[in-house]
Structure formats: C-alpha cells, structure tokens
Structure 1
Amino acid sequence: MQRVPHANPSGPLPAAQARRAGALRRLPSHSLSGEAAVLKVTAYVDGASRGNPGPAGYGVYMTTDSGDIIEVSGYLGTTTNNVAEYSGLLEALSIARAEGATDVEIISDSLLLVNQMLGKFRVKHENLIPLYKKARGLASYFPNFSIRHTLRAGNKEADRLANLAVDRGEGRFVERHRDDL
C-alpha cells in the first residue's frame, strides 16, 4: 500500500503543531447521521465516459469498518474519462470526511489518477488541475490516507456503478446498506 506524500518534505507535523498551523482540521466525533464515527473506510472508485469526451459518470463502492456499504453513482454530462475518474475520487473523499473517517484507502483502476495523487506523474491537463488540487486538499484531512492501483477486474463494483450512471443519464444516487454476511 502506498501512502500519498505529505506537502511538508520533512514529513507530517505532530498533531498539535499541525492544528496550530491549520494543516489539520478536527474531525467530528460523530458522522452526519449521528452514529459513532467510522474510523476506516475503503473506497473503490471509477469513472466512465462513452466517447471520451462523451456521456460520463462515476461510481464509488465504499465499505466501512462498521460493516456499512455505501454505493454512489453520479451522472456528469459530457466530459472525459479522466474527469469522471477524479469525480469518483472526490465523491469518495467527501463521503469519508462526512463519516468522520480517519483511515481512508482508495482503490482505482486508473493509473493516471493513482500516479498523479502519489506525485509520480505531473498533472498537465488544465481540466484536471483544479480537480487534483481539490482531491489533495480533501485527502489532507485524513491522518491515514492511501491510494493504490488495481486491475479493472478488481474494481468491478465501482465500474458497474459508473456505467449505471451513464446508462441512467441523470442525477446522483446513493444507497447505504449493511454487510450482513
């Protein structure tokens, strides 16, 4: 598992010093739903675009350490696959923050997205720069954040949700349920 490098080249600041510097924000002790905070989430993210650019959507399949599964699919209109990939990442990070997560693992089949977030690839395309900056900003809220690549076969649920969004052609849909197995 690869960790995203911190902006501070000497490593992360001690928590108290970082809070004073404004680098960390205190997370709520409860999620927006009022339940006890989730500590760890794992999110599979994907984007789909038919035509590139073309009708596009994103999918997020998230599991929490409390056994919840959160599935999100969102339609984006006409855009590129890379914008759709970043949209899935941003959705996952926003939900994780709302849930009060402290440990976030992102899994994506987009090598571009993963390597840009890890600082291995530069973000060159002007449409991706603001999305990248927003994603890095959201990722900085989590004391433990990691992102890694998987093959497409390892990302089937997020892929299904992204394509479902394109098929529907409208809206954002969220489903939350419990893993009762």
Structure 2
Amino acid sequence: MITVFTDGASRGNPGPAAFGYSIKKDGEVLHEHGGKIGVNTNNVAEYTAVLEAFAYLKKNVYKGEPLNIQLIADSQLIVRQLAGVYKIKNLRLKEIFNKIKNLEMDLGNITYKSIPREQNKRADSLANKALDSR
C-alpha cells in the first residue's frame, strides 16, 4: 500500500503559494517534496500537491501493474471533489483535476481520505518550507 500525504499553502489566498507531499510505501518514506507555485490560491496549491505526487508515482514507481494508493489530505473540499462527491466550478481547478484523473487511470486503485490538519504535519511542513525558501 502506498500512502500519499499532501498539503497546499497560500499566504494571502491568493498569495505566494506552495505545495508539499510525502509518499510512504508500507510505512517507510519513499519520497518527499515541496515546491513554490507563484501567486495562487490555497485550493490550487492543494490540487498541485496531488498532481505532483501522482506524477512522481507514475514516473518513478509505476511499472505497469496497478498500484493501491491512499491519498490523505487535510482539505475536506479537495478530498470530496477528487472522490466525486462535490462538483468543481473553478476552471483552473477543473484543469488540474482533469490532469489528476488522467494519472489516476494509469496508476490503479486510489482512495481518498481527509484528516485533521494536526495529523498532516509533514506535508504541511514541506509546503511551508518551500514558501519560506528564497
């Protein structure tokens, strides 16, 4: 089982924004990354974290066999949109959403779970470190 923790941050919303993700396989850290994405909203940052994590998995982990992935985020809105419970009205978010769904088709079985912010500290830390970097 692969577990992906994601988070996005925006100071100002919109404002300087960044994402962070931590990928674990069978409980061990496989890869972590955070990056800046210019001036954006928090939701764009949240979606970008998912997109970047899935792109990493497709390039570096996926070998043709379906993966079992659980994506965990502290944004209930993003989780519910990705799970198909809520519709997406914002065009920019729809664009990123469609890219994520295309990656999903290749990656395998993906489930989504929302957790309290306090339980998502590592991904949050990666996003904030990226924001604080010069």
What is the TM-score normalised by the length of structure 2?
0.91
In the other structure, the counterpart of 1:118 is: 83
Q: Secondary structure at the match of 2:91?
A: coil
Q: Secondary structure at the match of 1:128?
A: helix
Report deviation, 1:142.
Answer: 2.5
- Does residue 165 (structure 1) correspond to residue 130 (structure 2)? The answer is yes
Aligned match of 2:103 in 132, 135, 138?
138
Distance 1:162 1:67 in 2: 20
In the other structure, the counterpart of 1:176 is: none
Residues 63-118 of structure 1: per-residue CA shift (max 9 Å, x gap): 12383431100101110000000000001111122211611110000111101011
- Does residue 89 (structure 1) correspond to residue 54 (structure 2)? The answer is no
What is the TM-score normalised by the length of structure 1?
0.68
In the other structure, the counterpart of 2:5 is: 44
In the other structure, the counterpart of 1:127 is: 92
In the other structure, the counterpart of 1:80 is: 41
Residue segments in structure 1 that go unaligned for 5+ positions in a row: 1-39, 170-181
Q: Secondary structure at the match of 2:106?
A: coil
Runs ≥4 residues deviating over 4 A: none
TM-align CA RMSD: 1.4
Residue segments in structure 2 that go unaligned for 5+ positions in a row: none
Report matched runs for 1:102-117 at 5 Å.
102-117=67-82
Give the 3 Å change call, closer, same or farther, for CA 141–80 of structure 1 in structure 2: same
Larger relative helix fraction: 2
Residues 13-40 of structure 1: per-residue CA shift (max 9 Å, x gap): xxxxxxxxxxxxxxxxxxxxxxxxxxx3
Question: Which amino acid letter does the alignment assign opposite residue 8 of structure 2?
Answer: G
Distance 1:60 1:166 in 2: 14
In the other structure, the counterpart of 1:155 is: 120
Give the 3 Å change call, closer, same or farther, for CA 81–66 of structure 1 in structure 2: closer
Distance 1:77 1:137 in 2: 24
Question: Which amino acid letter does the alignment assign opposite residue 51 of structure 1?
Answer: G
Report deviation, 1:143.
Answer: 2.5
